[in-house]
Amino acid sequence: MGLPETMQAIQIKEFNAPYAVSKVPVPKPKPNQLLIRIKAAGFCHTDLMALNNEFNSPLPYIGSHEGAGVVVEVGSNVQGFAKGDHVGCINFDSSCGECPDCSTGRVIYCDRPQMKGLTIDGAWAEYMVADARTTVKIPESVDLVTAAPLMCAGLSIYGGIKKAGVPPGGSIGIIGIGGLGHIGTQLAKAMGYKVAAVDIKQTSLDLVNSHRLKPDLSLLVTEDPKDAMAKAHSAIPGKFPGLDATVLATDQQSAFDFAAAITRKHGTVVLLGQPDKGISMSFYNMIFRDIKLVGSLIGDTSDADELMQLVDDHDIQLKIKTWRLDQAEEMRQEYLSGKSEGKNVIVL
């Protein structure tokens, strides 16, 4: 076979410690698993939360839940995959099969899920095993460095846009143009929506306005919400002023009320951000303007397949900074400094 016995990986051995490269055994696939030679693996805010022991991850574990690579071994029960396939692995790996959500097919809400880079080994390694049922094929035309961050960041924002439940032709605001948001504005356009981009930084709005699929309207969160609503109504007219839905892809407290204020009466705010201190919002929009607040976790594999098709068909551009495995700690420090833009991906 020619597979090595050991590999390099970013294995977390203690919490709140710097990332470092370790030598660990190459895993063996179980009957439902694929062994994947990882080519690219993204860094997500959730990786930091795991490092800070916010998920009680069992030590040691290999980080990253955004992996893409090439299949090198196929488990005995796996169907539909072959050696050499380009694949991406969604962050959610497997489910218990017994809880109420598993028995009704909503496996991503499983009570006892296994998550790559959180409860089991992830993708910052030369090789990773992944349940084939949460693995998707990557089209030839989508490179693996682009595919990796789609497995969590891309799928999260896509899931959030879908969860808004806005019919085609409606309008969506993407609030927070970071790792998720800069993918979201393009996806929402590709899905046929009128799109508003909202951020606190003009440079972030400039980035999404440079894309082929650019938003119909850009707003700074520092604007007076009444002025912002007037702009939204003139750029994207509708029966009720404002956007049919807004998707909160940020942790910034100031964005929450702004999002609700530019959402139309009877519209929906979708929450993706996970701020440490929770979220607080004025009751005014919720009660007097009948705004609904819904959470969105991630998408499943059929959503991931749809996402791959959209990315393939519409040439969605991701802002990615690539790093080597031995630069993982440098990458984390840059992210902590707030200087990081777009997505960070380790290339192996």
List contacts with Zn ion (CB under 5 A).
44, 46, 95-96, 99, 102, 110, 152
CB of 144 to Zn ion, least distance (A): 17
User: At closest approach, how far in Å is the CB of 296 from Zn ion?
Assistant: 13
Nearest residue (CB) to Zn ion, 205 versus 320: 320
Q: Which is nearer to Zn ion, 102 or 200 (CB)?
A: 102
3-state secondary structure at position 25: strand
In whole angstroms, what separates CA 222 from the centre of its chain?
26
Nearer to Zn ion, 44 or 236 (CB): 44
- Closest approach of Zn ion to the CB of residue 32, in Å: 15
Q: For residues 34 and 129, is the Cβ–Cβ distance under 8 A? A: yes
> Is 265 in contact with 285 (CB distance < 8 Å)?
no
CA distance 44 to 65: 8
Compare residues 46 and 250 and give the one whose CB is closer to Zn ion.
46
Positive or negative CA dihedral for 52, 58, 64, 65?
negative
Of 122 and 173, CB closest to Zn ion? 122
Q: Least distance (Å) from Zn ion to the CB of residue 163?
A: 17
Angle, helix 225-235 to helix 253-262, in steps of 10 degrees: 50
Q: How many CA atoms lie within 13 A of 49 on its CB side?
A: 12
C-beta of 348: minimal distance to Zn ion in Å? 18
Q: Which is nearer to Zn ion, 152 or 243 (CB)?
A: 152
Strand arrangement, sheet containing 6-12:
21-25, 6-12, 61-62
Task: Count Cβ neighbours within 10 Å for each residue of 137-155 and write b for 16 or more, e otherwise.
Answer: bbeeebebbbbbbbbbbbb
Nearer CB in complex with Zn ion: 106/214? 106
Residue 249: CB minimum distance to Zn ion, A: 12
d(CA 309, CA 290): 35
For the CB of residue 103, give the shortest distance to Zn ion in the complex, in Å: 8
Answer whether 176's CB lies under 8 Å from 156's CB. Answer: no
